[in-house]
Amino acid sequence: MHYRFMRTYRAAILVAIFSASSFAAEQRKSAAADAAPVAKIGDSDVISRGEFDRALAAVEQARMVQLRQRGASAEQFASVKLGHEQKMRLVDSLVNNRIGNILAEQSNISVSDDDVKAEIEKRKTDLPSGTDYNEFLQQRGMTEKDVFDSTKRRLMLAKLEELKTKDLTVSEDEVKVQFDQLKERGATDEFDIQHILVKPATESDASANEAKSKIDAALARIKKGEDFSSVAKEVSEDPGSKEKGGEYKGVHRGQMVPEFDQRMAATKVGEVSEPFKTSFGWHILKVNRHEQGKLTPELTERMKERILGAKRNAFMRKLIEEARNKTNITINLPADASAGTPPPDSKEAIPEDDAASLLDAAT
């Protein structure tokens, strides 16, 4: 398992949304046949059951991707389905996006058919190679019109944000304040490391003990003077680094799973850690470089973009919330007794900053 995958959740979601697994296809088709809308906004606008089910499938698929990246247990995979409270949060997000579209129309924002078609073609590149697009839509109970309409709404939201937030700026002082906060937490630290992973063959105690014995033996060889790279190439089961002697360069805090991240930060340069366990198996690691990041011109620009993005999101949330408070909204989502519960390590169904991404293909 390539450890950098652990913190690429947003990128994984973007693919999962537009290519939600067919595991829920029949469920969506059946539910879409129910004419009762999930929400009514104002006098005429509605969130249909079909729209909601497509969004639900996308979110659950994104959760599945996240759990796979975390090396989740069978128990956690069993709880991938959203519970009623989480579904209500999803409905709220759909309603908020629809209100954003109403505001866009009131601002005389329009999107040409050519722009919509171009965006759809761009999105198709996120689908797995060899995917038959028409079959893909059919399996998910979607039509080309569904995709066209949802894409148009998303582009209108983007234009609304561009119009309403065009005067927002980020100062150098704002960047420095945030950088200093990140630096204090160690978030700007950068590492060059090597590591060795041994994965249990099964979930049994015997396999776990066997993996621990193998990592202990690898550490013993290194302590006796063998080269870390040579041992890693022979022993490690991490395909992302094995052939490079277990090496990862330019690793930042927060990129790895928590146990790995903490051990990396606690290990001195030149030292080899004692064996430690993560959801992937048993590890040892060596830190070859550990430096605090510097506020370079390139990093300054990236941070400006992120801060500006956060400002825009906050502005739009407030704008939509104010409009929502003035709008008559009725939500009709009966509780589903068969729905699952969140994974044990998850308090949120949808990360707030990912809500718009999660809904791209459904709104």
Q: Where are the domains of the chain?
A: 3-167+299-358, 189-292
CA nearest to 76, candidates 85, 66, 90: 66
DSSP 279: T
The CATH class of 189-292 is: alpha beta
Give the model's confidence band at 331: pLDDT under 50 very low, under 70 low, under 90 confident, else very high.
Answer: very high
| Residue 26 pLDDT exceeds 50 | no
120/339: higher pLDDT: 120
Give the model's confidence band at 14: pLDDT under 50 very low, under 70 low, under 90 confident, else very high.
Answer: very low
Place of tokens 């003035």: 326
Instruction: State mean pLDDT over 299-304.
Output: 91
| Alpha carbons within 13 A on the beta-carbon side of 120 | 19
Helix (H, G, I), strand (E, B) or coil at 46: strand
- Tell me the CATH number for domain 3-167+299-358: 1.10.4030.10
| Residue 60 pLDDT exceeds 90 | no
Place of tokens 């994974």: 343
DSSP alpha helix (H) spans, the chain: 9-18, 25-32, 49-69, 74-78, 84-106, 113-124, 133-139, 144-164, 172-184, 205-223, 228-235, 258-266, 297-325, 355-358
Q: What does the pLDDT read at residue 354?
A: 34
Are 263 and 276 a contacting pair, CB within 8 Å?
Answer: yes
363/338: higher pLDDT: 338
Q: What does the pLDDT read at residue 72?
A: 62
DSSP 127: S
Are 35 and 50 a contacting pair, CB within 8 Å?
Answer: no
Helix (H, G, I), strand (E, B) or coil at 65: helix
| Spatial separation of the C-alpha atoms in residues 167 and 142, rounded to whole Å | 38
25-34, 47-56, 293-302, 312-321: segment of lowest average pLDDT: 25-34
Two tokens, residue 321: 């919330």
1-5, 279-283, 346-350, 356-360: segment of lowest average pLDDT: 356-360
